[in-house]
Amino acid sequence: MASLDRYLDELLSRGRACFSREEALEALGLNSAAFIAAASRLARKHRLASPRRGFYLILRPEDRVAGAPDPLRWIDPLMEYLGLDYRISLLRAAAFHGASHQAAMVFQVIVPKQLRAFDIGRHRLQFIYQAPAAFAKTNVPDWLSQMKSEAGFAKVAGVELTLLDCARYFHKAAGINGVAQIAKDLGASADPRKLAKAAQAYENSAVRRLGYLLDHAGHARQARILEPFAVKAKSMKPLDPSVKPLTESLAELYEKDSRWMLVINESVEIDY
């Protein structure tokens, strides 16, 4: 019967840096109690870490300072273990696509199920819920890209989904000004047809918000394709719903953009 230490070395030699408890039990012939004791011992030695119960990461010497490998290396097998489809999005995806101002301090993943955020070592993973019906309509191969690491590939939102996700979940994407900067940096590379088609799965107000920010950044082609969503709007919505006026009377002083059916209740600043 092989030891857990040797099993870890064998997995690493095959380029694998994670495994499930079930895999280890089958390979080693250990009972559950013996496995847990061995895994706990190796965790104390900083050879193992566990982001989710029953799922383990093998720490190489260079991983031990951060307490865990970059999530890019193990998010795909973790989500497969949990039985969930996913896409990396928001700030990490924006940085991947070339948003030069984005330093992603959190690893953000869109999923069709409520999952708690967690910290592992110096890394923080945040799961953003998208309703299953909308997720199924958007998480399609043509609108996704791949992020490569030495451990394999992980799914990441394409440019169009990244823009839409950031506009929808702007409070998790550095606020309106953060999304404005992302729209400026990435807007020119968005395919207008893909953008319009994917936008159908998003709230109308979020699409209008993105249209306004693309327009503000000078990406006329991409903005124009989203105009039909504003035509369908029945009422004005605030550009930044998180900003509340001190009094209702002050709210009337905000500029109104009739093209995008938005109340411009927050000034937008971007770097060029």
- Quote the CA–CA distance of 147 and 161 in Å, as a whole number: 15
Would you state the pLDDT for residue 271?
A: 81
Q: How far apart are CA 18 and CA 78, in angstroms?
A: 9
Q: List the chain pLDDT tens, one digit each, 272 residues.
A: 468 999 999 999 888 889 999 999 999 988 999 999 999 999 999 999 999 999 999 999 888 888 898 999 999 999 999 999 999 999 999 999 998 765 668 999 999 999 999 999 999 999 999 999 999 999 999 999 999 987 789 999 999 999 999 999 999 999 999 999 999 999 999 999 999 999 999 999 999 999 999 999 999 999 999 999 999 999 999 999 888 765 555 556 788 999 999 999 888 988 87
- The H-or-E segment that residue 152 falls in is strand 152-157
pLDDT value at residue 1 = 44
Name the one residue in this structure whose structure tokens are 């600043």: 269
Tell me what pLDDT residue 230 has: 96
Go through the domains of the chain in sequence order and give each one's CATH number: 4-68 (1.10.10), 75-264 (no CATH)
Residue located via tokens 């919505």 = 237
Pairing outcome for strands 262-264 and 255-257: antiparallel
What is the model's pLDDT at position 252?
64
Query: Which pLDDT does position 249 carry in this prediction?
Result: 55
d(CA 77, CA 119): 18
The rounded distance, in Å, linking the Cα atoms of 10 and 36 is: 19
Strand partners, 20: 55
pLDDT at 261 (0 to 100) = 96
Residue 101: per-residue pLDDT: 67
